[in-house]
Structure 1
Amino acid sequence: MSVLLFERDGDVARLTLNRPDAANALDLTLCEALFEAATECDGDASIRCVVLTGTGRMFCAGGDIGAMSAAGDKVGPIVGELASKLHLAMSRLARMNKPLVTLVNGPAAGAGYGLALSGDVVLAARSAVFSAAYGALGVSPDGGLTWLLPRLVGLRRAQEIIISNRRLSAEEAETMGLITRAIDDEALISEGMAVAGKLAAGATSAIGRTRDLLLASFGNSWETHLELEARGIATSISSVEGKEGVAAFLGKRKPDFRGAQ
């Protein structure tokens, strides 16, 4: 059985964590498969949007604690390798020239928490809960959680959520701005794929530049970021997508960005 399902629905790729009997916990095999899939999605121009979700009742329980325990004295290097491979996959998904939609089908904990929040659009089933869980194990976070949470909810709330392991419902996560919105469980996949279809019909090159600008915004000075925006929009307006967008606006029609290759 494949630990990661890779399916295509037209120009939308759907990646599904597929270790339901292990709560979709992340072991090295799954992290390597996720990196390979992320690399393929990044490099395949026919894929215009990527959806990430999980099989079964959980989205992802984080790292595979059983595998870590079995590692004995080698647990440090093994967990380091596991986290590094996961981070490479997450980086590839964050830097690809197309949007990422995460569909949080159930509880997300540990590194699964960061993975859930990494989408441009994050839809969570109402049954989903979010738990950092690191403190209970006596470890510090991975999966980008200490980078993502302060940017999404502010430092003070991030400190409470991670350090005191505050458990959040999907509704609380929506109210805080942690996720895009909470969805009824039975509607999550259909609504998520509808969102992905709309994004896939958009100007993916421009979306890619927008993703880069947003990721860089906290590290750049005001003037540096303004210059990057100026260069980005100049490049975008000159592209086939930009020309199609302008022509559609002037022609009072809907743009066909899929056909603008």
Structure 2
Amino acid sequence: MVLQFTKENGVARLKFNRPNKYNSFNQELAFAVQKALDDCKNDDAIRVIVLTGEGKAFCAGQDLAEATDPNGPPLKNIVGEHYNPIVTRLREIEKPVIAAVNGVAAGAGANLALACDIVVAKKSAVFIQAFAAIGLIPDSGGTFFLPRLVGAQKALALMMTGDKVTAEEAEKMNMIYKSIDDQEFEENIDKMTSKMAKMPTRGYGLTKKAVNESFNNTLREQLDVEERLQAEAGATEDFKEGTQAFLEKRKPNFKGR
């Protein structure tokens, strides 16, 4: 089983499960992740999604044995059929996605993490843009997300040098949300997901949609997006519950609808 996929208390956990290969991706794992994300999208009981890795690594990127196999898929197919559909799903699913980076995240593994909504990492974890070392360009959305997170010059330097970035350095340069002590990592992830699974999921999804659209909009266009999506949010059951709870001075009981 290359992917451990579990659901509990509104939280779906996708754990890459090729620890002997540092959770590097092959076709089987890529298609399993795509299928699991589709399941999460269609399951109303799932209100937050976590991506993480089994063992010491989060994901070391592409399994080069598959990429160099004469009988395996060509690079164009690996990018277009394996990674691009995952990145698209991560960005378009109207539920929060957390990358819980438990170890090294290299190449496509690093960029899949950055495509998630929130990235938290163990302090012992590192991020590596490993593509230049084998003559390739960053894929899996790396050339889109990394420059927007850290700036073009910093992104290009990391892509061209392949320098390792520690989790603490990644937090300081705004590449990730937070670095966490290794011993407290799982507890922090559990607290975060438990909290988010009880929040207004539709509002989260609309917030994510607004941020996605902002990348290509002028201010005036984005104000129109906010107006449209705020009207949608105001029509949800969670908005009614949230305002009623505020007026009644009690904690809201959001249903994600």
Partner of 2:57: 58
Contact 1:113 1:132 in 2 (8 A): yes
Does residue 180 in structure 1 map to residue 177 in structure 2?
A: yes
Structure 2 regions of 5+ residues with no counterpart? none
Post-superposition, which runs of at least 4 consecutive aligned residues in structure 1 deviate over 6 A?
none
Q: Percent identity?
A: 38
Contact 2:123 2:168 in 1 (8 A): yes
Return the alpha-carbon distance in structure 1 between the equivalents of residues 107 and 126 of structure 2: 12
SS of the equivalent of 1:59 reads strand
Letter in structure 2 aligned against 1:138? G
TM-score by length of 2: 0.96
Q: How many pairs does the alignment contain?
A: 256
Partner of 1:122: 119
Partner of 2:75: 79
Return the alpha-carbon distance in structure 2 between the equivalents of residues 16 and 186 of structure 1: 19
The two structures, once aligned, show a CA RMSD in angstroms of: 1.3
Letter in structure 1 aligned against 2:26? D
Does residue 137 in structure 1 map to residue 134 in structure 2?
A: yes
Distance apart, 1:224 and its partner CA:
1.2
Distance apart, 1:94 and its partner CA:
1.7
Partner of 1:101: 98
Contact 2:9 2:197 in 1 (8 A): no
1:92-241 map, 5 Å: 92-241=89-238
Pick which of 204-213 and 185-194 moved more. 185-194
Structure 1 regions of 5+ residues with no counterpart? none
Pick which of 120-129 and 17-26 moved more. 120-129
Return the alpha-carbon distance in structure 1 between the equivalents of residues 193 and 83 of structure 2: 23
Letter in structure 1 aligned against 2:21? A
Contact 2:11 2:193 in 1 (8 A): yes
Partner of 2:29: 30
TM-score by length of 1: 0.94
Aligned to 2:251, which of 250, 254, 261? 254
Return the alpha-carbon distance in structure 2 between the equivalents of residues 169 and 245 of structure 1: 39
